[in-house]
Amino acid sequence: MATAVPRGERGRPDGAGTGALGEDQLVGLLRTLLSGPAPGVALGAGDDAALVQIGSHLIVLTADMLVDGVHFERERVSAHDLGHKALTVNVSDVAAMGGSPRFALVSLGLPDDVASNWMVELYGGLRDAAAEYAVAVVGGDTTRADRVVISVALTGEVAAGRAVTRAGARPGDRVCVTGSLGAAAGGLWLSHASPAEVASALSAEWGRELLAALDRPVARVGEGQTLAAAGATAMMDVSDGLALDLSRLCRESGVGAAVRPADVPVAASLHGLERQAGVRPLDLALGGGDDYELLATLPSGAVDGVAAQLRERFGTPLTEIGEVRLEPGLVAVEADGSERPLEPAGWDPFGG
Amino acid sequence: MATAVPRGERGRPDGAGTGALGEDQLVGLLRTLLSGPAPGVALGAGDDAALVQIGSHLIVLTADMLVDGVHFERERVSAHDLGHKALTVNVSDVAAMGGSPRFALVSLGLPDDVASNWMVELYGGLRDAAAEYAVAVVGGDTTRADRVVISVALTGEVAAGRAVTRAGARPGDRVCVTGSLGAAAGGLWLSHASPAEVASALSAEWGRELLAALDRPVARVGEGQTLAAAGATAMMDVSDGLALDLSRLCRESGVGAAVRPADVPVAASLHGLERQAGVRPLDLALGGGDDYELLATLPSGAVDGVAAQLRERFGTPLTEIGEVRLEPGLVAVEADGSERPLEPAGWDPFGG
């Protein structure tokens, strides 16, 4: 649901404010207050997206709000990349349900000092992402605000019986993830490094790759549909960090999971950052947000087949990183077979 | 699309900033950058809502963003009323297309100092409005922000052939408006008056009515469907002021209009404000926003019949206030038959 700024940058490292509620608590409050069966609602708040029925069509509805200083820094990111990302993160939520994105509404809050060419670039990024994902931007709202706020709502479709929520994982299922993890968190780390470190990193391919991962994420639409068709039992996108997001998936499914850290696919470009700054790639892969890879649970017999499909169709790897257990909670299983609790840490926009 | 704070309160009376673009210019930019036929899009940006096709269903999509200090003042309005209004203004956009609201996404930006009981009240207002208009709130996003930002996206349905846009008004059609106008602008005026004036006004029925009109607007859903069924050629809600909104409807239809100011239905409670403070009711009715009445053009032969239907079914008056002309622009026709240009002034969130 959210994109990342490191905790120290958020001005609220202690979780104070908003009655000390974090994002998960607020989502819980929303679900309690607004829940109850309603006509046409197949799945309400709390997943990557909602599912509603219109006639015989299953519709996917999702929204994300990006705020300057919380999810991005206007001084650093290009307006084009920002527009592109604002749409892409919503597309990713639809992808995580196994759906196809169709129509977007874009609401913008704009401070007085935003120049019109910045707006033109932002819309250019939105337009490029819309073309890439076959989305039509059909409207929205514009208003004045103290800081740039970009609120996107996306409508998609999913074939009946093909929607995958967070709630279907069963003990014994395999935990799998597309692509590699941690590069966006590496880019975020770099974006806050010293000018000398940044300059040095950007002279290397790995440095440019890390920043590109942060600013120009890719939503896995075809991959999500393929995983859904292959019988994924639960699915979500990794937007707030693998450990936190997997803990959410497990909570919704009423299960736990064991993860083999040695098998987590760490972005290759992170090794450059490790060499330069000593940052551990696995920490970024487990705890960093903004990857937008898909996290899915699959019956054990389905993994090899769908992995081959994803490789052939999209060039996207699928890696098995653990398995679903009956017992709640996350554990890390080391190479020697020893187990330890895996902290569900990750990005929370309230820093709670 | 937007709700009102008086010009002097917006801190930007000169239209500076955002490259000096006003809301209409930004909407124009959006339409230029994102336009072009797209599969399934029946009507894109620029109307009260977009119309898209999913299977044989015509879907209405709309979004509005409300920002503290621009559209409301958090110190003054109750969280419950704010939540109720945030949904209602979106319902009004669906009503203005002749549609039925169905599913809402609510994204919230929240400062650190928002207490959790404020959140509970806000959601209570959302829930009450959702129940009133048979809308299911199915999700959204929550994040940190400097000021409260409420961004709602609403999905509705409209029967095929029954959607009414701003673009169909024809010369000779009658210009009609539901209910009465100006009360919300009167409430806004009051909300910025001196404590003595406010206390005096609130001791009277008219004062309480004006503030209620501002804080608890009503969306005309049944009325919109009835007007659509009766053959309304163009329709929109009066959110930014009658004169400005009618000028927009005329521009989209490629026509002009003549309005008889003497026939504009002015809210009765404004006469109390006129007596107390000398504010002219007609000025508020023509130039004030936030009324959420429906402005419709109808073939002349249809007016009496639909007016009777609205009165019987909903107790809502429909008043004919003028007629559509071939010549672009708005004119006011006085009782003696003299004409003068009618300035399309009203609320612009950029103060442009």
How does residue B13 score in pLDDT terms, banded at 50, 70 and 90?
very low
Indicate if the pLDDT at residue A351 is higher than 80.
Answer: no
For residue A347, the model assigns a pLDDT of 62
User: Of A44, A70, A114, which has the smallest distance from its Cβ to B138's Cβ?
Assistant: A44
Q: Give the separation between CA B26 and CA B6, rounded to whole angstroms.
A: 21
Q: Which residue of B has its CA nearest to A48?
A: B139
DSSP H or E segment with residue B307: helix B303-314
Is there a domain that residue A347 lies in? Answer: no
The pLDDT confidence band at residue B348, using thresholds 50, 70 and 90, is low
What is the nearest CA distance from B28 to chain A, expressed in angstroms?
Answer: 11
Please report, rounded to a whole number, the percentage of residues in chain A having pLDDT higher than 90.
Answer: 70
pLDDT band for position B346 (cuts 50, 70, 90): low
| A17-21, A145-149, B82-86: segment of lowest average pLDDT | A17-21
Is B30 an 8 Å CB contact of chain A? yes
- Which of B33, B43, B59 has its CB closest to that of A127? B33
**What is the phi/psi pair of residue A318, to 5°?**
-125, 125
Total domain count, chain A: 2
Same domain, B213 and B328: yes
Structure confidence at residue B299 (pLDDT): 98
- Does A337 lie in the same domain as A216? yes
Q: Could you tell me if A333 and A188 lie in one domain?
A: yes
Residue B139 has pLDDT above 60, yes or no: yes
Identify the residue among A5, A10, A143 best suited for mutation to test binding to B, counting B beta carbons within 10 A and taking the highest.
A143
- Phi-psi map region of B193: left, alpha, beta (phi>0 left; psi -120 to 50 alpha): beta
In a domain, A350, yes or no: no
Same domain membership, residue A64 and residue A191: no
Q: What is the pLDDT of residue B140?
A: 87
Answer whether A79 touches B (CB < 8 Å): no
Give the tens place of pLDDT for each residue, A191-203: 888 888 888 888 8
Average pLDDT over residues B106-111: 93
A210-230 per-position pLDDT tens digit: 999 999 999 999 999 999 999
Cβ proximity of A245 and A175 under 8 Å = no
Q: Which residue range(s) make up the domain with A72?
A: 7-158
Is pLDDT larger for residue B3 or for residue A173? A173
pTM of the predicted model, to two decimals?
0.89
Q: Give the per-residue pLDDT at A175.
A: 98
Higher per-residue pLDDT: B15 or A268? A268
| Mean pLDDT computed over B85-91 | 97
Residue B23 pLDDT = 65
A329 CB near a chain B CB, below 8 Å? no
Question: What are the tens digits of pLDDT across the range A158-176?
Answer: 998 899 999 999 999 999 9
What is the interface size between A and B, counted as CB pairs within 8 Å?
Answer: 298
Strand partners, B58: B53, B158
| Per-residue pLDDT tens over the stretch B192-242 | 888 888 888 888 999 999 999 999 999 999 999 999 999 999 999 999 899
Cβ neighbours of B144 in A, within 8 Å: 10, 12, 17-18, 67, 70, 349-351
Cα–Cα distance list, A32 to A27, A52, A244, B127 (Å): 9, 19, 22, 11
Residues A141 and A270 in one domain: no
Does the pLDDT value for residue B2 go beyond 50?
Answer: no
> Given pLDDT bands bounded at 50, 70 and 90, which one contains residue B347?
low
- Give B313→chain A minimum CA distance, Å: 25
State the CATH number of the domain containing residue B243.
3.90.650.10
pLDDT band (50, 70, 90) for residue A39: confident
Q: Are residue B216 and residue B91 in the same domain, yes or no?
A: no
- H or E segment at B229? helix B221-229
User: For residue A266, what pLDDT is reported?
Assistant: 97
Instruction: Give the containing element (helix H, strand E) for B153.
Output: strand B149-158
HEC sequence for A84-147: HHHHHHHHHHHHCCCCEEEEEEEEEEECCCCCHHHHHHHHHHHHHHHHHCCCEEEEEEEEECCC
Residues in chain B: 352
How far is A142 from chain B, CA to nearest CA, in Å?
7
| pLDDT category of residue B33 using cuts at 50, 70 and 90 | low
Integer Cα distance of B264 and B285 in angstroms: 8
pLDDT value at residue B217: 96
B100 touches chain A (CB under 8 A): no
pLDDT computed for residue B134 by the predictor: 95
CA of B229 vs chain A CAs: smallest distance (Å): 21
- Whether A239 and A174 have beta carbons less than 8 Å apart is answered as no
Last residue of one domain, picked from the residues B158, B184, B208: B158
Q: Please give the pLDDT value at position A47.
A: 82
**Domain match, A186 and A105 both:** no
- Residue B151 CB-half CA count within 13 A: 32
Instruction: Taking residues A178-192, report their average pLDDT.
Output: 94
The last residue of one of the domains, among A158, A190, A220, is A158
What does each C-alpha distance from B141 to A169, B117, B319, B345 come to in angstroms? 24, 18, 41, 35
B351 part of a folded domain:
no
Q: Do A103 and B52 touch (CB under 8 A)?
A: yes
- For CA atoms A192, A195, A196, A202, the dihedral sign is positive
In a domain? residue A169: no
| B29 contacts A123? CB cut-off 8 A | yes
Q: Is residue A276 part of a domain?
A: yes
Q: Please tell me which of the candidates A102, A109, A115 has its beta carbon nearest to residue B67.
A: A109
B 200-219 residues inside an 8 A Cβ radius of A: none
CA atoms within 13 A on the CB side of B176: 33
What one-character DSSP code corresponds to residue B301?
A: G
Measured distance CA(A211)–CA(A198) in Å, rounded: 10
If one compares A199 and A332, the residue with the highest pLDDT of the two is: A332
Share of chain B above pLDDT 90, in %: 70
Q: A202 with A144, same domain?
A: no
Mean pLDDT score, B151-157? 97
pLDDT for residue A88 is more than 90: yes
Question: Residue B92 has which token pair?
Answer: 């009004």
Determine, yes or no, domain membership for B304: yes
Any domain includes B52: yes
Residue of B30, B57, B143 with shortest CB distance to A54: B57
The reply to whether residue B16 touches residue A112, judged by beta carbons under 8 angstroms, is yes
The mean pLDDT value for B307-327 works out to 98
List of residues 6+ apart from A148 with CB closer than 8 A: A67, A68, A74, A108, A109, A110, A111, A114
Amino acid B10: pLDDT: 32
What pLDDT, on the 0 to 100 scale, is given for residue A18?
A: 46
Question: Is the domain of B133 the same as that of B184?
Answer: no
Contact present, B208 and B273 (Cβ < 8 Å): no
Mean of the per-residue pLDDT values of chain B: 88
Q: Which of B89, B105, B348 to mutate to test the interface with A (most CBs of A within 10 A)?
A: B105
Backbone angles phi, psi at B42, to 5 degrees: -85, -30
Mutation for A interface: B106, B143, B148, B290, most A CBs within 10 A? B143
Q: Say how far apart CA A4 and CA A352 lie, in whole Å.
A: 14
Same domain, A203 and A333: yes
Secondary structure (3-state) at A29: helix
CATH number, domain with residue B56: 3.30.1330.10
- Kindly state whether residue A73 falls inside one of the protein's structural domains: yes
Contact B245, B258 (CB under 8 A): no
Q: Which residues of chain B are within 8 Å of residue A69 when distances are taken between CB atoms?
A: 146
> Mean pLDDT over residues B99-127, rounded?
92
> Is B265 near chain A, with CB under 8 Å?
no
Q: Is the dihedral of CA B216, B210, B68, A352 positive or negative?
A: negative
Higher-confidence position of B42 and B260: B260
Distances (CA, A) of B34 to A85, A86, B94: 16, 15, 22
Cα distance from A206 to chain B (closest Cα, Å)? 31
Residue A265 has pLDDT above 50, yes or no: yes
Considering only CB atoms, B144 lies closest to which of A41, A103, A349, namely: A349
Which band of pLDDT confidence, cut at 50, 70 and 90, is reported for residue B47?
A: confident
Structure token digits, residue B34: 């994102």
Q: Are A144 and B18 inside 8 Å of each other by CB? A: yes
Q: B31 pLDDT exceeds 80?
A: no
Q: Give me the pLDDT at residue A56, please.
A: 87
Question: What pLDDT was estimated at residue A196?
Answer: 87
Query: Does A49 lie in the same domain as A135?
Result: yes
Please tell me whether residues B273 and B324 are part of one structural domain.
Answer: yes
Domain boundary among A100, A131, A158: A158
Structure ipTM: 0.87
Are residues B116 and A30, on separate chains, in Cβ contact within 8 Å?
Answer: no
| DSSP calls for A134-197 | T-EEEEEEEEE-SS-EEEEEEEEEE-TT----SS---TTPEEEEES-BSHHHHHHHHHTS-HHH
Provide the residue count of chain A. Answer: 352
User: Which pLDDT belongs to residue A348?
Assistant: 62
pLDDT at B64: 93
Residue A134, sorted as left (phi over 0), alpha (psi -120 to 50) or beta, turns out to be: left
Cα A290 off chain centre by: 5
What amino acid occupies position B113?
D
Which two three-digit tokens encode residue B307?
């007016």
How far A277 CA lies from chain B's nearest CA (Å)? 30
